[in-house]
């Protein structure tokens, strides 16, 4: 399946788009990571993936906020995540996968 990059998607449209293309456990992502499932929580959802280590999740709002920031012309990298979400540390693979998804689509 060939998917064209759409820089005009809002954060919510981007999240909905990801839900439409990542539907099966094992779909390849960045490097040795693969999609696991959409994790439904009481108040939100997460994009769940795995690699060499335990399963990790990217919260819905990370993907929405970072895509909206990218649309405003902000550079999305680990520093952006660290500055935007001040109480969290993004020195793990979650930021790498989120950045990869935004750059890919």
| Predicted confidence (pLDDT) per residue in 16-64, tens digit | 999 999 999 999 998 889 999 999 877 778 888 887 778 888 989 999 9
Give residues with Cβ within 8 angstroms of 94, minimum separation 6.
56, 57, 58, 62
Whole-prediction pTM value?
0.84
- The C-alpha torsion from 62 through 47 and 77 to 96, rounded to 10°, is 160
Cα distance between residue 57 and residue 35, in whole Å: 10
**Which tops the pLDDT comparison, 68 or 85?**
68
Q: 70-94 pLDDT, tens per residue?
A: 999 999 998 888 888 765 665 678 8
CB 25 within 8 A of CB 35: yes
């Amino acid at each position: 399946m060939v998917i064209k990059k759409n820089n005009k998607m809002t954060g919510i449209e981007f999240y909905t788009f990801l839900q439409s293309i990542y539907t099966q456990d094992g779909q390849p992502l960045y490097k040795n990571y693969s999609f696991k499932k959409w994790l439904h929580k009481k108040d939100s959802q997460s994009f769940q993936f795995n690699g060499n280590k335990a399963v990790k999740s990217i919260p819905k709002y990370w993907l929405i906020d970072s895509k909206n920031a990218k649309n405003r012309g902000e550079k999305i990298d680990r520093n952006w995540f660290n500055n935007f979400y001040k109480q969290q540390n993004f020195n793990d693979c979650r930021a790498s996968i989120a950045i990869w998804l935004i750059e890919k689509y």
